[in-house]
Structure 1
Amino acid sequence: MFLQPKKTKYKKIQKGKLSKFNFRSNILQFGNIGLKAAKATTLSARQIEAARQAIVRKLSRKGKLWIRVFPNIPITAKPTEVRMGKGKGAVSHWGVKISAGTILFELCGVSKNIAITAFKTGGAKLPVKTIISL
């Protein structure tokens, strides 16, 4: 069950740029401890789901986990060995642009040590360096 929007205004969008640092979603809103991205990157829905599953397994059905990012950007790809031109490719997966300092996951209801180990295993599943923010 991968994250993706139910409905979008446009089927495909242009790539755009990654912002260097985010001042809006860099503080904890819901939980006591969070997992923060150290650099700007694009995360896919599969990567977010893999990190979520790793964190939940370490928690062993205790605590509450919030996912602060949602993949709402369609990422397109053309098949291999296709000549140039003939339009933009079909949507292959969904992603989200992450700027440095964005909180990805938040957690409460468990001890600090369990939360840190859970976020370390979850952060290992992501293609970006992460920081645990208290």
Structure 2
Amino acid sequence: MFTSSWKKTLGIATIAKRFKHEYSPRFKQVEKAQKGRVSVRTGGSIKGNTLEFGKIGLRLKSEGLRLHANQLLAADKVLRRELRPTKSKLFTRFVCDLAICIKGNMTRMGKGKGAFDHWATRMPTGKVLFEIDGPIHEKVAREALRKAAAKLPGLYEIITPESKVRVSVTSLIDKPEPVDYVEKMNENPSRRWANLQRFRTDPMYKLYSGRY
């Protein structure tokens, strides 16, 4: 049996292991989660499937999977090593917020969930992982992304801003035009939206705002 001091020491060690990883989430209150399944986007969502910050990137081409934080960190180190001489920027488009807990082999059922082991993330098909921007030649960037993809499970593709949007393993579509939802709401405003706009523009509302 462990004494109270030993239990306290083990608790501190567990917390240190939980939050010492480079890709650990910023928020600390992350509960133990079930294994779950990687989402399959069937409603036409293309969130995170195109470039937003860089001029070239790496995107998942095969079926969705769960990626280990250490696997992503290995790919990150490869990219940073290749990009260091070019002074280019590297952007990551994922968050490892899935706490994976593991129990030992040949363990009896019960006794609660296992202890924290590592961080992971669920990566759906078509999600962009890394983006590169800066004064870098396209061939150098493609070679760096190819080496990073070799460190990760699954199949990946290198994309540019002109690339089509991947919606499934076999389907690609043209990038849709951005929608200005504010202008769309102003054309046919609801009663709540009209009152909100009147509150923002009418000086009489500003005069009495914040008073009770």
TM-score (norm 1): 0.92
Greater shift, 61-70 or 98-107, is seen at: 61-70
User: Is the radius of gyration larger for structure 1 or structure 2?
Assistant: 2
Q: What are the ranges of 5 or more consecutive residues in structure 2 without an aligned counterpart?
A: 1-20, 161-212
1:80 Cα shift?
A: 2.1
Question: What's the secondary structure of 1:61's corresponding residue?
Answer: helix
Matched, 1:99 2:124: yes
Amino acid at match of 1:113: K
Q: Distance in 2 between matches of 1:45 and 1:108?
A: 23
CA contact (8 A) 2:30 2:97 kept: no
Alignment partners' CA distance in 1, 2:146 and 2:70:
18
CA distance in 2, matches of 1:20, 1:52: 26
Aligned to 2:58, which of 35, 42, 50? 35
Aligned residue type for 1:112:
E
**Structure 1 or 2: more strand by fraction:** 1
| Stretches of 4+ aligned residues off by more than 4 angstroms | none
How many residues of Structure 1 are paired with residues of Structure 2 in the alignment?
Answer: 134
**Is 1:113 aligned to 2:112, yes or no?**
no
Instruction: Please tell me whether the aligned partners of residues 34 and 133 of structure 1 are also in contact (alpha carbons under 8 angstroms).
Output: yes
Contact in 2 for aligned 1:71/1:96 (Cα 8 Å): yes
In the alignment, structure 1 residue 61 sits paired with structure 2 residue 79: no
Shift of residue 108, structure 1, vs aligned partner? 1.2
Q: Secondary structure at the match of 1:50?
A: helix
Task: Write the distance in 2 (CA, Å) between the matches of 1:28 and 1:61.
Answer: 23
Higher relative contact order (CA 8 A, sep 6+): 1
Query: Aligned partner of 1:48: which letter?
Result: L
CA drift at 1:9: 3.7
In structure 1, the partner of 2:38 is 18
- 2:158 and 2:132 map into 1 onto residues whose CA distance is 11
User: Does residue 131 of structure 1 match 2:154?
Assistant: no
**Aligned-residue offset at 1:70:** 1.4
Q: Do residues 47 (structure 1) and 68 (structure 2) align?
A: no
Per the normalisation by structure 2, the TM-score is 0.60
Larger displacement relative to structure 2 (31-40 or 57-66):
57-66
Query: RMSD of the TM alignment (CA)?
Result: 1.5
* 1:54-103 deviation per Cα after TM superposition (whole angstroms, max 9, x unaligned): 11112233211001111011011002232222111111000110000000
| Percent of pairs with identical residues | 35
